[in-house]
Structure 1
Amino acid sequence: MMTKNEIFGYAPDKKYDTLVAYFSMEFAIDQALKLYSGGLGFLAGSHLRSAYELKQNLLAIGMLWKYGYYDQGRDGNALMKPEFIEKQYSFLQDTGIIFAVPIHDAPVLVKAYLLKPETFGSAPLFLLSTDIPENDEQSRTITRQLYDPNETTRIAQSIVLGIGGAMLLDILKIEPAVYHMNEGHSLPLNFYLYAKYNNLNEVKKRVVFTTHTPEMAGNEEHDYALLKEMSFFYHMQEHEVKSILGLDGDRLNYTLAALKFARKANGVSKLHGDVARKMWGSNPGICEITAITNAQNKSYWKDDKLEQAITTDDDQGITTRKKEMKRLLFKAVADQCGKLFSADIITIVWARRFAGYKRADLMMRDWDRFITLIENKNYPVQVIWAGKPYPEDYSSIDLFNQIISKVKPFANCAVLTGYELALSALLKKGADVWLNNPRMYREASGTSGMTAAMNGAVNVSLPDGWVPEFAKDKENSFVIKPADDKLPVEEKDTLEARNLMDTLENTVLPMYYHNHAKWITVIKSAATDVVPAFEAGRMADEYYEKMYRI
């Protein structure tokens, strides 16, 4: 059996002596390990990297997805199509541990692998797989695709993560002081712990919860009867679950149940903490909801040459390095789209998980004005879009492909596929403007803008998520004026599209082309202001201070 020393490979700092088990459905740690879909994974990956740098007493539990999330390919017309390709990871350690998790009242065998800390510089991460020869075909499919569209498969994934992860820790004879649920996917963990301790307060003492979803529809829920049938509650009956948690109705909401099981919970920005308290605060028996703003690991994301130029106040060095990084990005543009971009032209990038509320096409809402922007000879621009829609979100895939079709005729507009860690880094380093224009209060944090600021890309953003904690308009970023909250959605979209274009045309472009010294000052201010406040070392430390220590 593996010892704790063998798992960690380092002695945890005594400052972080509380042992924490961190459960997440996705982790973005390295381009070579495709276990993530978007921001939740990017956040979890940065958390593990900073936990390793700080030598925290934290290990993680995740899932080994055979096909990852999906690969973003193109069809014969260069439109996006999802592809599911088997992944191989020779760098994972086979622990030799196989154990049974009850699903549908039948044993499903789970195999545990370990991503050792020294491989990518992260806290130890155990990855669970059911795709082994000992299982039947249906059981093997559980860990094949992140966020499988089939309802029962999704439920089984949560059972493997939550109950399977807790069982693995017991097998290893590791008893965490704290179990941290990063989102509600690992909720079955709590039913396993209740069976172990037979007391809700004993579970609460050990569990903390982070919620990332500021939309009620985005918080997963299923029928109690189906969950019971699938052994989601471990050894508990439906009426026991409702009685212990003070719940009723026919469907169990994962977030609400997690808030009742946890000792403490947090939103992922100050604004999101407020939103979460308004969403859930009227429910009796929920825990305190505080806020710990998300952050990103600088040592992974930064460009060393640009950082040196910023640190030494070398304006010419900043300009030179920024153009070099733009040229690296433009090689990807040329490769994918056959378009040659110029490092002398301001480059606007919209890149993030592709969902409707993020409004990738907001610039295009007034098409005539968009054409005027991209054909302006006095202030030439280049625009790049990238992002991954959920493979079953056909409206978002359709929007992605509409943008591809609309901008195909324009030599200065491109849509890139393959939005994973490597392309994300290229885009942040090569962008001049990092555009963020979600519908207000729908973006819990929006951490991509943090790593953009670390790499000389200036945020142009609505004041949602983390942005109000960072943005100083025209000093370290450019803030798009939001519309009145009381207006209908369509009217807000129209007004905010107008405000976005006003910001670009009247402030951003003139400064870039006519007052570049000021532009460089904005870059330097952003890079200075984003660290340490939005660097993951601060976040990892704050979790210990606010959430883990009892």
Structure 2
Amino acid sequence: MQSTDFRNYKIPYSPAPEYSKSVAYFSMEFAIHQPLKIYSGGLGFLSGSHLRSAYDLKQNLIGIGILWKYGYYDQSRHHDQTLKADWYEKTYSFLEDTGIKFTVPVHNQPVWVKAWYLPPTTFKSAPLFLLSTDLPENDYLSQTITHKLYDSDTAAKIAQMMILGLGGAKLLDELNFNPDVYHLNEAHGLSSVFHLLKKFGSKEEVKKRLVFTTHTPEEAGNEKHDYFLLDKMSFFYGHSIQEVQKLTGIEGTVFNHSLAALRFAREANGVSQLHGEVSRRMWGGYADVPQIKAITNAQNWNYWADKQLYRFMEEGDNDGFDDRKRYLKKRAFEIVADQTGKLFDPDVLTIVWARRFAAYKRPDLITHDMKRFEDLVANTQHPIQIIWAGKPYPMDYGAISVFNSLVHLSKRFKNVAVCVDYELALSKRLKQASDIWLNNPRVPREASGTSGMTASMNGSINFSTYDGWICEFARHGENCFIIPQADYHNLSIQDQDKWDLDHLYEILQEEILPLYYSNKRKWRDIIQDGMHDVRHEFESNRMAKEYYQLMY
């Protein structure tokens, strides 16, 4: 049964008048809901919340992504409990077949692309179109382009970016959905501009319609590839290297995707106020780049928040509030027990470190001083429980070895656990399990880092280094706890780690633990201040509105 007319597509609800401008939002990953496993981490969580808020606000926006056959990966364990990456085929009965197929040239050969559709009513998100090359019309190599999110093979990853960019732009033509704005969430979809150049005839015309969001403050995190490889793969869609160099102003042999995106965009933004400053510094020396604005990332309250905690807070029912938080912890601890055989106590202060496993996020910082760590977890006066979870990139062997070392460490303590399969569902449960959401990236390398927002929405207190969104939220000892800033620019990495570690232990032992065990009222006030502050300033409806006001 196909009721949607995909050849003249309009969103299936009336857009609110202030959001009538039509937008196509390109992202490599979307974390919409647990059953749809097409995301790896923060970028996906962010675009998922954006689509949920676009639906809440009735914005005229559609998402364009890729249907990853094997997802990012399934995280399980080897026989000794260490991390094992598995890839299973995913099938989704809730996606609609649009009947649309077209080709994108890859290596000068036509690759067939099929479009699937996630209707807004399924998970209460803006309409989402997902592209796949896993078709019998394609040879095996072409079929594998949309198999694994962020394939480790360079040519495969470029092909994935082409399916998102060129494929997404061609899909919009097939749908006859001619958006007023093409929004690239990160530079993965940049190849779309080479299709748009042919469609609109000039860079000026493309620029009128293109906006770009950059997510990483790290030069290394911005994709760069060899011009000749891109040309050989048809990335430039028939434009010669000389033309592309002229259009983008990028000379030499290396093509910088983010810089090209900035030069094709009429508006650009970073994803927190601090990241906006870092990005302006980083790109400020380049000519022909728009002033980079800041729109702080946010998460969707309707999807993430525990509504009963909020209700008890609003009614001033402290007993109900405490009882609900204790229940949330107890329920989440059943997952921990099931996975690890550890029985955690809902009355003990619980620290959780859970997010994407990357070196700069320093998952194991608290264990860098083993004597202190052992004293901390053995303390009977102020007992403590610690849980780790998160997905390293499956080829990041450094991060995997940190994960595995924490697994082995956890075997020595009954109050330390490492969970696997950190996706949307476990993420929400671990936020409910935690009293303290530990976040200690190296400053200023976290562009935004949104996991702490959803932790606050579930009655957890942020304990963080001063980086990303936290800088706009933090009031130490009132709505969170903050590791004071060092002179990060002049300290070596070792000295920076030592500074942050010393202050982490100091605040934990002198402020957090005594407060939790001897002043429940003040503790509850800090939780509730965080819940209140996060709901208004860091809710994705605010973010989705700002994109319309400032970018579109």
Q: Into which bin does the TM-score normalised by the smaller protein fall?
A: over 0.9
Q: CA deviation at 1:136?
A: 0.4
Contact 2:9 2:176 in 1 (8 A): no
What is the Cα deviation at residue 105 of structure 1?
Answer: 0.7
SS at match of 1:532: helix
CA distance in 2, matches of 1:7, 1:429: 39
Paired residue secondary structure (1:276): helix
Which residue does the alignment assign to 1:38? 41
Residue 531 of structure 1 aligns to a residue whose secondary structure is helix
**1:191 maps onto 2:207 in alignment:** no
CA–CA distance in structure 1, aligned partners of residues 251 and 390 of structure 2: 39
**Corresponding residue number in structure 1 for 2:499:** 495
Relative to structure 1, is the Cα distance of residues 98 and 5 closer, same or farther in structure 2, using a 3 angstrom cutoff? Answer: closer
1:328 pairs with 2:331:
yes
Q: Secondary structure of 1:340's partner?
A: coil
Supply the distance in 1 between the matched residues of 2:5 and 2:136 (Cα, whole angstroms).
24
Query: 1:139: which partner in 2?
Result: 142
Residue 195 of structure 1 and its aligned partner are, at CA, apart by 1.7
The yes-or-no answer on 1:296 pairing with 2:291 is no
> 1:8, 1:116 within 8 Å by CA — same for their partners in 2?
no
Letter in 1 for 2:19: Y
Whether the 8 Å CA contact 2:9–2:177 is kept in 1: the answer is no
Letter in 2 for 1:40: L
Q: Structure 1 residues 355, 183: closer, same or farther in 2, change over 3 A?
A: same
Distance in 2 (CA, whole Å) between partners of 1:221 and 1:308 is 49
Say if 2:531 is the partner of 1:544. no
Task: Determine helix, strand or coil for the equivalent of 1:8.
Answer: coil
Residue of structure 1 equivalent to 2:347? 344
8 A Cα contact 2:7 2:176, kept in partner? no
Q: Is the 8 A contact 1:49 1:121 kept in 2?
A: yes
Q: Residue in 2 aligned with 1:374?
A: 377
Q: Please give the alpha-carbon distance, in whole angstroms, between the structure 1 residues aligned to 2:79 and 2:387.
A: 21
Amino acid at match of 1:73: S
- Indicate the SS of the match to 2:194: helix
Displacement of 1:6 in angstroms is 6.2
CA distance in 2, matches of 1:204, 1:287: 11
Which structure 2 residues correspond to residues 24-35 of structure 1 after superposition, within 5 A?
24-35=27-38
Q: Is the 8 A contact 1:28 1:41 kept in 2?
A: yes
User: What is the rounded CA distance, in whole Å, between the counterparts of 1:173 and 1:547 in structure 2?
Assistant: 23
4-13 or 476-485: which moved more?
4-13
TM-score normalised by the chain length of structure 1: 0.99
Structure 1 gaps of 5+ residues are none
Cα shift readout 1:299-348 (whole Å, capped 9, x = no counterpart): 00011211111111221111101110001111011111101000000000
2:512 is matched with which residue: 508, 513, 523? 508
AA of the residue aligned to 2:498: T
Shift of 1:196: 1.5
2:259 aligns with one of 253, 256, 260:
256
Selected match of 2:18 from 15, 21, 26: 15
Alignment correspondent of 1:237: 240
1:459 matches 2:457 = no
**Aligned equivalents of 1:317 and 1:281: distance in 2?**
52
The share of aligned pairs that are identical, in percent, is 55
Q: Distance in 2 between matches of 1:487 and 1:224?
A: 37
Q: Does structure 1 conserve the Cα–Cα contact (< 8 Å) formed by 2:33 and 2:123? A: yes
SS in 1 for 2:313: helix
The question of 1:477 aligning with 2:489 is answered no
Match of 1:71 in 2: 74
Deviations 1:252-292 (A, max 9, x none): 11111100010010000000000111111101111120000
Contact 1:110 1:130 in 2 (8 A): yes
* Structure 2: distance between partners of 1:386 and 1:532: 28
The amino acid that maps onto 1:12 is P
Give the Å deviation of 1:5: 8.4
Deviations 1:47-94 (A, max 9, x none): 000000000000010000000000001001011110000001000000
For residues 143 and 365 of structure 2, the distance between their equivalents in structure 1, rounded to whole angstroms, comes to: 42
User: Which residue is equivalent to 1:115?
Assistant: 118
Structure 1 equivalent of residue 151 of structure 2: 148
Of 393, 396, 400, 1:393 maps to 396
CA distance in 2, matches of 1:255, 1:186: 10
Given residue 33 of structure 1, which amino acid in structure 2 is its aligned partner? L
Closer, same or farther: CA 4–110 of 1 in aligned 2, 3 Å: closer
Report the 3-state secondary structure (helix = DSSP H, G, I; strand = E; otherwise coil) of the residue aligned with 1:193. helix
* 2:506 counterpart of 1:519: no
Corresponding residue to 2:181 among 175, 178, 181: 178
Q: Say if 1:5 and 1:330 are closer, same or farther in 2 by CA, change over 3 A.
A: farther
Out of 495-504 and 309-318, give the one that drifted further: 309-318
What is the rounded CA distance, in whole Å, between the counterparts of 1:480 and 1:4 in structure 2? 54
Identify the residue that residue 203 of structure 1 maps to in structure 2. 206
How many residue pairs match? The answer is 548
Q: Which runs of 5+ in 2 are unaligned?
A: none
In the alignment, structure 1 residue 427 sits paired with structure 2 residue 430: yes
User: Quick one: which amino acid aligns to residue 462 of structure 1?
Assistant: T
Q: Are residues 1:227 and 2:216 paired?
A: no
Structure 2 length normalisation: TM-score? 0.98
